[in-house]
């Protein structure tokens, strides 16, 4: 078999999408020694992240060029059995498509996006999903949302949970705190949140909750650290910090590497994830794998992922967020219990299992396509329609 993967996200700081595809490729290399893999990359920094035995091709970083012409052309030259993409397949795709749709927040909450971005995703993901051989997603919540949004049959959407990268592991607290002080000049103790600075991550709500927490419990010496790439929404986040009354205790770090993030997780006292909407919520598992107590939203896929190993709150209530944080900070026994439960929960996910389940889908689609061709079908559309 010959499988191709659109890996343009690698090396471009596309956070969750980049972590997902990088982790899959490394796990593929570990568990499948027979299939050929072709990866399509857009960044010059991406090659070291790809397993050495995998073939690589360079495609345009510009999405209009990549999806409009470049990727389709490369696929015609390479003749893979399928291509795996995230959200959007190329136009005139000559091979069957497996698509990962991590969530449909652009449909359910378009207010979290710029108008043009929401429209673009609405059109391109609909086109891709309707023609894909299989759709992968990380949670039952997202599966149900995709089925409802696109009117698909149950078997077309396959739940394949994500996992924390092995880089996220417990580290001695002194080493972690020293690394954070050296790299970021952030003193301990602090609360940590991770996520791009965009509306649905609810940084503004968290900033308001943190201000209420400090006002209600002035004995707390904690700071709030926000790690995540700057975006078009960053000016709003910075203004919220400025108006919070506790600006001197809030740090915006921007994008951080996995190694730095591992230290940040380990050195924090509590990890908080106040997102309004997540199709999975990978930072929850990353923090748990590092042994941190977690407080997170009670919406979308987050309760499913946390499964009792986190303190839940209503992300639309800054009072509830503040109370959840106070509970963990002021009750050491509760915090220790949640740390233990979180580590146990994180071990239930791993990338080799995720990759194995993904490969099962690859082989099923490829064998179905070859069977259709052997029976005289004309191309990918025939294979897909016979599902």
pLDDT tens profile 25-69: 999 999 999 999 999 999 878 888 899 999 999 999 999 999 999
How many other CB atoms sit within 10 Å of the CB of residue 371?
Answer: 12
pLDDT of residue 353: 96
Give the tens place of pLDDT for each residue, 305-333.
Answer: 999 999 999 999 999 999 999 999 999 99
Report the alpha-carbon distance of residue 134 to residue 130 in Å, rounded: 10
Residue 103 CA: distances (Å) to CA of 87, 155, 240, 299, 355: 9, 18, 27, 13, 19
Arithmetic mean of pLDDT, 263-284: 98
2-163+351-381 and 173-346 agree in CATH topology: yes
Residues making up the chain, counted from first to last: 387
Taking residues 266-278, report their average pLDDT: 98
pLDDT at 363: 97
Q: What is the pLDDT of residue 376?
A: 61
Percent above pLDDT 70 for the chain? 96
At a CB cut-off of 8 Å and minimum separation 6, what does 350 contact? 163
Regarding the domain with residue range 2-163+351-381, which homologous superfamily does it belong to in the CATH classification? Answer: Glycogen Phosphorylase B; (3.40.50.2000)
pLDDT at 14: 60
* Per-residue pLDDT, 364: 96
Per CATH, the homologous superfamily of domain 173-346 is Glycogen Phosphorylase B; (3.40.50.2000)
pLDDT at site 382: 38
Domain residue extents for the chain: 2-163+351-381, 173-346
Question: What CA–CA distance (Å, rounded) separates 182 from 170?
Answer: 19
Q: What is the mean pLDDT of residues 118-145?
A: 96
For CA atoms 298, 303, 306, 310, the dihedral sign is positive
Average pLDDT over residues 342-349: 98
- The reported pTM is 0.91
pLDDT value of position 380: 46
| Arithmetic mean of pLDDT over the chain | 94
CA distance 314 to 274: 8
Q: What number of CA atoms fall less than 13 Å from residue 93's CA on the CB side?
A: 27
Residue 263 CA to residue 133 CA, distance in Å, equals: 40
pLDDT confidence bin for 387, thresholds 50/70/90: very low
Tokens standing for 335?
A: 């915090």
- Which of these ranges, 209-213, 257-261, 303-307, has the smallest mean pLDDT? 257-261
């Amino acid at each position: 078999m010959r499988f191709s993967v659109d890996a343009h996200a690698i090396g471009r700081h596309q956070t969750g999408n980049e972590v997902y595809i990088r982790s899959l490729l490394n796990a593929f290399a570990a568990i499948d020694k027979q299939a050929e893999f072709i990866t399509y990359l857009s960044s010059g920094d991406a090659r070291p992240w790809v397993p050495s035995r995998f073939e690589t091709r360079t495609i345009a970083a510009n999405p209009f060029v990549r999806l409009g012409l470049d990727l389709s052309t490369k696929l015609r030259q390479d003749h893979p059995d399928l291509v795996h993409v995230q959200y959007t397949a190329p136009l005139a795709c000559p091979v069957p498509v497996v698509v990962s749709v991590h969530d449909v927040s652009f449909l359910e909450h378009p207010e979290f996006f710029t108008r043009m971005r929401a429209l673009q995703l609405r059109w391109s993901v609909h086109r891709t999903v309707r023609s894909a051989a299989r759709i992968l997603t990380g949670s039952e919540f997202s599966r149900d949302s995709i089925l409802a949004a696109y009117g698909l049959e149950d078997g077309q959407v396959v739940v394949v949970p994500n996992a924390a990268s092995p880089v996220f592991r417990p580290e001695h607290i002194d080493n972690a705190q020293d690394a954070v002080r050296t790299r970021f000049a952030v003193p301990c103790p602090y609360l940590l949140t991770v996520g791009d600075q965009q509306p649905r991550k609810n940084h503004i709500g968290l900033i308001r909750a943190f201000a209420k927490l400090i006002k209600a419990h002035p004995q707390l010496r904690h700071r709030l650290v926000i790690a995540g790439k700057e975006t078009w929404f960053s000016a709003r986040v910075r203004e919220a910090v400025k108006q919070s009354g506790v600006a001197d205790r809030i740090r915006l770090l921007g994008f951080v590497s996995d190694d730095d993030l591992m230290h940040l997780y380990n050195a924090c006292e509590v990890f908080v994830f106040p997102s309004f909407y997540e199709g999975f919520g990978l930072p929850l598992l990353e923090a748990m794998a590092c042994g941190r107590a977690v407080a997170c939203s009670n919406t979308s896929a987050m309760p499913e992922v946390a499964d009792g190993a986190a303190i839940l709150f209503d992300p639309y209530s800054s009072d509830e967020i503040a109370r959840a944080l106070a509970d963990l900070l002021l009750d050491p026994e509760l915090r220790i219990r949640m740390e233990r439960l979180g580590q146990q929960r994180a071990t239930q996910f791993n990338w080799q299992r995720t990759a194995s389940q993904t490969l099962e889908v690859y082989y099923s689609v490829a064998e179905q396509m070859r069977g259709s061709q052997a029976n005289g079908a004309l191309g990918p559309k025939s294979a897909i329609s016979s599902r």
